[in-house]
Amino acid sequence: MNRDSRDRGSAYLLAAGTFLMCLSVAGPLSAQDSPTPPVPANELVRTTIDNEMSAANNGSVKFMFQSRKQTQKGVENRIYAQANEALVGMTIGQSDQPLNSQQERTETDRLQQLASHPDQLRRKQQHEKQELEHSLRILRALPTAFHYEYAGTEQSEPGLGKEGHELVRLNFKPNSTYSPPSTVEQVLAGMQGYVLIDKQARRLARIDGTLFKDVTFGWGIFGRLDKGGSFRVQQADTGDGNWAITQMTLRMTGKVLLVKTLTLVSDETFQDFRRLPDNLPFAQAVDILRAEQEKLAQNLHASLRIRPISGQ
């Protein structure tokens, strides 16, 4: 098995495990259970996904935000800025504590290297583009890959939906007639769960899925995702009709090329979304993050402590 095959197998599994990460900050888009829903469940999903596709492809509105990610390796605190060319990310803490001087210099040098070397920045841009394309293919398949049924309503809450809006819950299970067009969408055949849709905004507030069976890729040659794996991605309106991811939880295990063990376990929350200029070159975004890092380093523990979102 050559290196390209190994890389391809890993990419398929990673894309399957994190396919909804394409839901991102984007510009605004132009009580009781109902016994006879006015909109068929699958049609509601279809119109909602159309809005999500439009949002994911809209890069005109840019934000800076913070994240706290916990994995098996520990806690990482980061800040991000959306630039014209690519997403700029800087680690500013470990385990809710500031980096030391050497670690700060390493992060700054890494970003300056990217900003000053167009070839490296182009490679980063191309990598992000490929990830987005994989994610959008999965997102586009959701209306046809599953059967949906109404399962009540919930109220929005901080970090979930738009404040004051009612969220419609739809349970989903695989559509037996759906045929995945490629390996990328193959994970959907083994998944079931539910979505929460802000019916008024026609935006996806949460998707929660679980693998009810093992899913193999490339006849099992490229790899396998194990039964019981799960994920959750949720969004909220952060103001002015702009929606953003506020939480991502991932629990996936499996094999790559039937040999290498794959473990994807993480909990990540996002907060403090602040609008940036619509036209923001990468180098300027780096300067913005450096200035922000200096401010946050004064009191990282207090500034980055993110409260868990209810429903975890």
User: By CB neighbour count within 10 A (0-12 exposed, 13-18 middle, 19+ buried), where does 310 fall?
Assistant: exposed
Q: What is the pLDDT at residue 183? A: 79
Determine, yes or no, domain membership for 132: yes
Determine, yes or no, domain membership for 83: yes
Give SS3 for 281. Answer: coil
DSSP secondary structure code for residue 188 in this structure: G
Share of the chain above pLDDT 90, in %: 59
Best CA proximity match to 217, nearest among 173, 257, 264, 178:
257
Instruction: Please check whether residue 66 is in contact with residue 77, taking contact to mean a CB–CB distance below 8 angstroms.
Output: yes
**How is residue 208 written in tokens?**
């929660």
Q: What is the pLDDT at residue 98? A: 86
In tens, the pLDDT along 296-311 reads 776 654 544 554 544 4
Structural domain including 56 reads 3-304
Instruction: Please check whether residue 78 is in contact with residue 89, taking contact to mean a CB–CB distance below 8 angstroms.
Output: yes
Determine, yes or no, domain membership for 81: yes
**How is residue 121 written in tokens?**
């920045």
120 has pLDDT over 80: yes
Determine, yes or no, domain membership for 79: yes
Q: What is the mean pLDDT of the chain?
A: 83
Determine, yes or no, domain membership for 311: no
**Pairwise CA distance, residues 77 & 97, whole Å:** 8
Instruction: Please check whether residue 279 is in contact with residue 252, taking contact to mean a CB–CB distance below 8 angstroms.
Output: no
Beta bridge partners of 264: 252
In tens, the pLDDT along 34-68 reads 444 578 999 999 999 999 998 888 778 899 999 99
Helix (H) or strand (E) holding 113, with range, is helix 101-116
Q: What is the pLDDT at residue 7? A: 41
User: How many domains in the chain?
Assistant: 1
In tens, the pLDDT along 247-282 reads 999 999 988 876 788 888 999 999 999 999 999 999
Q: What is the pLDDT at residue 195? A: 97
Determine, yes or no, domain membership for 309: no
The packing angle between helices 118-145 and 3-17, to 10°, is 60
2 has pLDDT over 50: no
Determine, yes or no, domain membership for 195: yes
196 has pLDDT over 80: yes
Name the pTM for this structure: 0.81
* Intra-chain end-to-end CA distance of the chain, in Å: 40
Helix (DSSP H) and strand (DSSP E) numbers for the chain = 6, 13
11 has pLDDT over 50: no
In tens, the pLDDT along 219-248 reads 555 678 899 999 999 999 998 889 999 999
Q: What is the pLDDT at residue 184? A: 82
Instruction: Please check whether residue 82 is in contact with residue 63, taking contact to mean a CB–CB distance below 8 angstroms.
Output: yes
Determine, yes or no, domain membership for 62: yes
**Pairwise CA distance, residues 230 & 209, whole Å:** 6
Instruction: Please check whether residue 81 is in contact with residue 64, taking contact to mean a CB–CB distance below 8 angstroms.
Output: yes
